[in-house]
Structure 1
Amino acid sequence: MVEVFGYWDALYFILVFIIGLVLAYLLDAWAKKAGMGTREVGDGTKIFISGEDPEKVIPGFEHLEGYYTGRNTMWGVIYGVKRFFTTLRKDHTGLLTDYVSYLLMTTAFILILMLIRG
C-alpha cells in the first residue's frame, strides 16, 4: 500500500508537543525576567493595557467604568491604515441595501473569475 499523504507517527507528535511546551515555558520565564517588574499579587496590583490606567476616567467613556477602549492597544493598526479607514468612512452610509449590493457585486465578480479561469 502506498502512502499518498506521508507518514504519521504518534511518537514524533508527542516529541514535538513536549518541545513546544518547553519552549513556551522558557519564553514565559524570559519574559518575566525581562519585564518591567509588575507586581502579580498583593497591594498595588492593577490591570495595565498599553498605557491605559484603569483608575483614570477616559473622557466620553465615563459610563464604561471598569472597561477599556483599547485605543492604545490598537493605535498602531489604526494609524497604519488611517487613509484606508478615511476612505471607507466617506462611503459609509449605514444603509443595509448598500452593503447587500456590495456583497452581491463581490460575489458576482468572484463567480465571473471562477468561470473565466475554470
Structure 2
Amino acid sequence: MFGYWDALYFVFIFIIGLIIAWMLNEWAKKSGMGTREAGDGTKVFISGEDPDKVIPGFEHYEGYYTGKNVMWGLTYALKRFFALLRNEHTGLLTDYVSYLLITTAFVLGVILIWG
C-alpha cells in the first residue's frame, strides 16, 4: 500500500548522505575564514556576538548566545507586529483559553461550512 522498503537502499542512501556531508564540511573548511584565535585556544564567533563580552541588557546571559544579531532582520521587519502582540500579552490564563476557544470555534465553523 505504501510502497516497498528495502534496508539496503536505506543504507546506500545514508552512506551517500554522509559522503555529501563530509564533502560539504571539507569545502567549508577550505573556503571559510576559520576560527578566531584567542589566548590558549580557539573561540566561537557567531554573527558578531562574543560570549566573553557582556551585552547590555543581557547581563544574566553572560556566556550565552542571545541571537540578537542572528535574528535582527526578522525582529526589525516585524517590530510593529511584535509590539501589538506585546500589548495583547496580559499573562492571564483566562485570556489565552478564550483565544483558544475562539480559534477552535472559527476552525470548526470553517470545516462545517466548507466541509
TM-score, normalising length from structure 1?
A: 0.81
Alignment partner, residue 22 of structure 2: 25
In the alignment, the residues of structure 1 paired with residue 30 and residue 8 of structure 2 have an alpha-carbon distance, to the nearest angstrom, of 33
Q: Cα distance, 1:37 vs. partner?
A: 2.0
Alignment check: 8 A CA contact 2:53 2:62 kept: no
2:73 is the alignment partner of 1:76: yes
TM-score, normalising length from structure 2?
A: 0.83
More divergent stretch after superposition (42-51 vs 93-102): 42-51
In the alignment, the residues of structure 1 paired with residue 36 and residue 15 of structure 2 have an alpha-carbon distance, to the nearest angstrom, of 30
Query: Which one-letter code corresponds to 1:65 in the other structure?
Result: E
Alignment partner, residue 51 of structure 1: 48
In the alignment, the residues of structure 2 paired with residue 112 and residue 27 of structure 1 have an alpha-carbon distance, to the nearest angstrom, of 49
Identical counterparts, % of pairs: 74
Q: Relative contact order (alpha carbons < 8 A, sep ≥ 6): 1 or 2 greater?
A: 1
Looking at secondary structure, tell me which structure has more strand per residue: 2
More divergent stretch after superposition (55-64 vs 23-32): 55-64
Structure 1 gap segments, 5+ residues each: none
Q: 2:13 aligns to what SS in structure 1? A: helix
Structure 2 gap segments, 5+ residues each: none
Query: Which one-letter code corresponds to 2:58 in the other structure?
Result: F
In the alignment, the residues of structure 2 paired with residue 52 and residue 39 of structure 1 have an alpha-carbon distance, to the nearest angstrom, of 12
RMSD: 2.1
Query: Which one-letter code corresponds to 1:17 in the other structure?
Result: F
Q: Cα distance, 1:65 vs. partner?
A: 2.4
Query: Which one-letter code corresponds to 1:28 in the other structure?
Result: N
Query: Which one-letter code corresponds to 1:13 in the other structure?
Result: F
Number of equivalences: 114
